[in-house]
Amino acid sequence: MPDLTPVESSLVAAVGYDAPAGTLTVALVGGRSYAYRGVPPGVLEAFLAAGSKGVFFNREVKPKYPCDPLP
C-alpha cells in the first residue's frame, strides 16, 4: 500500500497513489479503505486540489474505476 496523505473531508480520511501500478488508495473516515485500479496520475493531483474531496471522490473516482476493498 502506498503512503497515504491525510486530507480534510467529512468522507475521505486519506489518499495515496502507487504510480507504477496506477492504483489510487482511498481511506474513508469510517475506517474502510479501497484500492482503485487504472487511475491516471493526474487524478491524484486533482483529488488533492479539489475543494471538496468527498464530491470529487463520488464524481470522479468511485463511478469511473474498478476497486478492491482493502483489509
Cell 473531508 -> residue: 9
Helix, coil or strand: residue 7: coil
How many angstroms separate the CA atoms of 34 and 15, rounded?
10
pLDDT of residue 2: 86
Residue 9 contacts residue 51 (beta carbons within 8 Å): no
pLDDT digits over 8-66, tens only? 999 999 999 999 999 999 999 999 999 999 999 999 999 999 999 999 999 999 999 99
pLDDT digits over 30-43, tens only? 999 999 999 999 99
**Pick from 30, 28, 9, 10: nearest CA to 67:** 28
CA angle (19, 20, 21) in 5-degree steps: 90
Give the pTM. 0.93
pLDDT of residue 4: 95
Residue 66 contacts residue 21 (beta carbons within 8 Å): no
